Amino acid sequence: MAKKSDTIRSTENESQNDFDKQNAEILWFKDLHAKDIDIAGGKGANLGEMTQNGVPVPPGFVITVSTYRKFLADSKLEDKIQALLIGLDVNDSKLLRTKASEIQSLIISAPLSKAVEVKIEEAYKFMGEGLVAVRSSATAEDLPDASFAGQQSTYLNVDGIHQVIDAVKGCWASLFEARAIFYREEQNFDQLSVGIAVPVQRMVQSEISGVMFTVEPTTSDRGKVLVEAIYGLGEGIVSGEITPDTYMIDKSSLSVTNRQHVPQTWMLVRNMDSTNRDDLNKRVEILNEQANSNKLDDSQIQSIVELGLGLEKAYNSPQDIEWAYQDGKFYIIQTRPITTLTENNGSTAGLEVDENEYPLLLSGAPASPGAASGRVVIVENDDMGNLDRIHQGDILVTEMTTPDFVPAMKRASAIVTDQGGRTAHAAIISRELGIPCVVGTGIATEQLANGEIITVDGSSGRVYKGAIPDA
């Protein structure tokens, strides 16, 4: 292990003396608390709070918001970014993507000061180098009233200081992804007042990963916990690329009241032949025996739920938690408040439908309650230009949504996906927007037709032919 540097000694001593964290360039998780959002962003602050409370969090440090702001100032980028954003109509998707790309190019191409590079390298060496996860942590994310789900970039299996610095700049640039600019505008956040920190933490090579909501998210039932799990790295479940196994747990007894197994044919693992930050991981096929097996047994479910309920108690609010499992141990990757709860407490009911008049076309997981009728518009994930075809009141049908879909999702009256679970991007954003959503149908993009009129019941997970009057 490298010798502890003067910078590291200074950081440790200052933390003991309650130093001015606002001006620190790098802080260890142990130096941070939940209140430090303006220093470490929402994710970084929560990683610090959990570390302080003994939660099994992979260790690491945060490159602070102050470092990002100093980078912008030293590079004289603020005025250039502001000029590109003035008068921008975020609903003009093509122009928004163009401006976003220009801003990101400015950030990526601007040099990072040697002094900051050295401090990042010293911290990376102090934690033992090797594989790390480099994550974005904006000051406007993981908040009680807005999750900003998936707006910025995360890089997994980053190896070596050059890749670390490259990933850090990628995270900074991702603050100006088109989707992030749009979402901030819709939430009335000033574009340049939002800062970003970058947590760098020891990588967990997840054998199993998943998401847990300490309240059932679709019905807001406070007496249930929802756990979803997949094989491999967790990016597949958060994005909605993989439809997970789902476990519903009674909060008082910790017994599993419902389990749904979905065969998994591939998983995401480290790409040993990676050449840049965009190909750090790769898909590998899963053997049939493993593909058809349950991801978690009852003992594992109880262990992760106990961790989740501990976090709910510590934060005094229901939590949305990402977790990973390696070598017999669970790790908490992040936690944030659930932003979409209602007062229904489990009482959300689906439509009463005469299926002779309105035939059932397909079904999936109920992901966001309510019902809506409209015209089907199918959008392929490899053709983002088609998002402009979604008009107000249309029903968006796609394999899965990504954060780039958010402008179109705001125009849609309902969303139906082939893939994903109730904790995936499509589900979370639909609940934030208050529109019905059914996920994990498996066949929606194949079975439904463009222009077809359908009714989506997000409370029951069913999709019907025709426009049902009560929807």
The gap between the terminal CA atoms of the chain, to the nearest Å, is 63
Looking at this protein, which amino acid is placed at residue 120? I
Cα 119 from Cα 72, distance rounded (Å): 17
Q: Which residues pair with 471 in a beta bridge?
A: none
How many other CB atoms are found less than 10 A from the CB of residue 307?
Answer: 19
Residues 339 and 411: beta-carbon distance below 8 Å? no
Burial class (CB within 10 angstroms; exposed 0-12, middle 13-18, buried 19+) of 213 = buried
3-state secondary structure of 387: helix
Residues 56 and 324: beta-carbon distance below 8 Å? no
* DSSP string of 132-145, one letter each residue: EEEE-EESSSSBTT
Residues 363 and 461: beta-carbon distance below 8 Å? yes
Cα 326 from Cα 82, distance rounded (Å): 44
Does 162 qualify as catalytic in the annotation? no
Candidate list 33, 162, 261, 425, residue with the active-site label: 425
Cα 456 from Cα 471, distance rounded (Å): 8
Cβ-based neighbours of 226, under 8 Å, separated by 6 or more: 212, 213, 215, 216, 217, 246, 247, 248, 249, 422, 423
Residue 256 has what DSSP assignment? Answer: E
Looking at this protein, which amino acid is placed at residue 301? I
Cα 84 from Cα 176, distance rounded (Å): 11
Place of tokens 């050295």: 118
Cβ-based neighbours of 193, under 8 Å, separated by 6 or more: none
- 208-213 and 224-231 strand pairing: antiparallel
Residues 85 and 50: beta-carbon distance below 8 Å? no
* DSSP string of 99-164, one letter each residue: HHHHHHHHHHHSPPPHHHHHHHHHHHHHTT-SEEEEE-EESSSSBTTB--TT-S-EEEEEESHHHH
Evaluate the CA torsion angle 356, 358, 363, 367 in order and state its sign.
negative
Catalytic residues: 425
